[in-house]
Amino acid sequence: MRRRPLCASASRVTASLLLSFLAIGSAAEVPLLPLPPTSPHVHSTEKDFSLRHIYHHGTYRYPELHRRLDVPDKAAVYMAEHDDAADREPVPALRAKSEMMSIQRMVHRDRDTIDGILDYGRMRGKAVQLAAEDWTIDDLPGPNVTDRETVLSFARMASNAYILEPGTGDWEDVGGGFNYTEDFGWEADGLRGHIFADTENSTVVIGLKGTSPAMFDGSETTTNDKINDNLFFSCCCGQGGQYLWRQVCDCQTAAYTCNSTCLVTALREKNRYYYAAQNLYHNVTELYPNAEVWFAGHSLGGAVSSFLSLTYGHPTVTFEAVPEAMPAARLGLPTPPGHQIGSMQQRKMTGGYHFGHTADPIFMGQCNTATSVCTIGGYAMQSVCHTGNKCTYDTVKDFGWRVGIGTHKIAEVIRDVILKYDQPAKCEPYIDCTDCYPWEYFESNGTETTTSSKSKPTSSSTLTRSSRTRTETCKTPGWWGCLDESTTGSATTTSKTISTSSTSTCKTPGWFGCKDKDPEEETSTITTTVASPAPAPSVTTTSHSPTSSASTSSCRYPGWFGGCLDGDDPPGHSRSSHKSTIPTPTATTTTCTDE
């Protein structure tokens, strides 16, 4: 048997080896390659949240105060409509579903960069112009606002009525070690944030609640709240509107005309609530550096939550928030290219959702009439437009509610609105909205001092303060001016008046005059001299009024509309004090006899 010769060709050897490897590989089990890891937030996932921390930041009385209270895992936490309410109940489960959303935000969001942009906007009165490469569109996990339980959980997280058992924990100073232990009023001043985290600490929710005005939620209102709110939420510092609005600047020059240069100067004072919320946000991100941050807020806290969302690019869900588009523009918040600076309501992809109902005048921007509670409290709430998406429950149409402040509180919103509807309100952008429509704003050279009176305009259009001083001597002032034939308009006047008057004394006054037969008369002479020193070389004018003699009328019975009733008895006058001249009638008796 002949042996098969060996293959000497190199190409044939390579081909044989390749066929052998393929044959062996086909017989072996081929392992499946693993798929690329997917993000756990692509599909809607459910998260369970619990209260972890409570932050408190001072605003006016204690602006440097910053405290934190850590809540243990198994601590008993209750909810109530008020902080001192007796009918408290345990906090229900806080579950929320997430979904992916696109948010346009800045590339660099560190503290120094944001503070520099805000300082520029605060000093210039408008946002800084940023290039397109400074912005990015990121896909982030956010709350699913189409899920009813998610909206309900965010409303509960936005509430401030959380009560802890006594001795649960102690407040810890995180803002520099300031000791305010002896002052029991520090808890009523400032911004409070409740920090919720899920079981994996991958998502954190910051629920903000400010010290609201008295007509909103309590009696802890201050004058500083009115100054802060009327600067940012009114068209022109509370001017040109209702009489009870507190005016916090003097920038109105005419009807529905406001000096924007003057307004920017007034706005340079930092918004205490917004900057307190910034410090609170930075402390939370230091505790949870790798977590996604969501915001929740109610009323004024909802507006501040929206400010943080627009600044740092995080999702937010608010309830009955004050319309915040105009104050966001006045804060100088960054605006992406392609959007008109000052029209924050036209921004897209903000991640903001604002829930409210049509019977709430604050949410609808109607709390500015003469009889509204906001006006009575001195607040000029003229802003109308919201940023992002507006989610409105039509309670006026569906339930027949009347517009009133009574349904603004978060407890009523949860009980009477969110729980009554089967589905959450539809969220949609409200772009075609204009704040302060009849107002006109103009910029000036910055030298104006606007007051209630103006001098004649000059070529430099500089408004000056003027005042009027009345120096003329008027003897007979009238409703529309002086009734004298001529007046003296000098700065210094010396007048001398000699008057002689005669008065009568009545011992028995009556309804229609004096009942005395001869009233006693007294004559008195009064000399009055009024002089004021005249600075040289001013002209001094001396006026000497003629002596006037005035005597009372000799009429004993004056009438109601002038004239004298002497000669006739006045009506209703008793004649008991005068001798009667009427003869007394004599009675005559006639006797008839029959003849």
Report if residue 28 sits inside a domain.
no
Residues of the chain with pLDDT below 50 are 1-6, 13, 18, 22, 24-42, 177-184, 212-221, 450-472, 486-497, 499-500, 523, 528-534, 536-552, 570-595
* Cα gap 293→380, rounded to integer Å: 32
- Paired tokens of 342: 């000052």
Q: Which of 294, 313, 334, 346 is nearest to 137 (CA)?
A: 313
Query: Which residues are CB-contacts of 296 (< 8 A; sequence separation ≥ 6)?
Result: 154, 155, 157, 158, 205, 206, 207, 208, 305, 316, 317, 318, 319
With b meaning 16 or more CB within 10 Å and e meaning fewer, what string describes 376-387?
ebbbbbbbbbbb
**End-to-end alpha-carbon separation of the chain, Å?**
211
Report if residue 502 sits inside a domain.
no
Strands (E), 305-437: 316-319, 352-357, 389-393, 427-429
Report if residue 587 sits inside a domain.
no
Give pLDDT, residue 186. Answer: 54
Note down the domain range covering 309: 45-220+271-369+383-435
Out of 212, 234, 299, 305, the active site residue is 299
Query: If residue 282 lies in a helix (H) or strand (E), which one and from where to where?
Result: helix 272-287
Per the structure, the count of domains in the chain is: 1
* Cα gap 267→124, rounded to integer Å: 10
pTM (two decimals): 0.66
460 is catalytic: no
Give pLDDT, residue 262. Answer: 85
Distances (CA, A) of 373 to 4, 318, 433: 109, 22, 24
Cβ neighbours around 234 below 10 Å, total: 26
- The strand pairing partners of 46, in sequence order, are 97
How distant is the alpha carbon of residue 398 from its chain centre?
29
Sign of CA dihedral 451, 455, 456, 460: negative
Cβ neighbours around 542 below 10 Å, total: 11
Report if residue 150 sits inside a domain.
yes
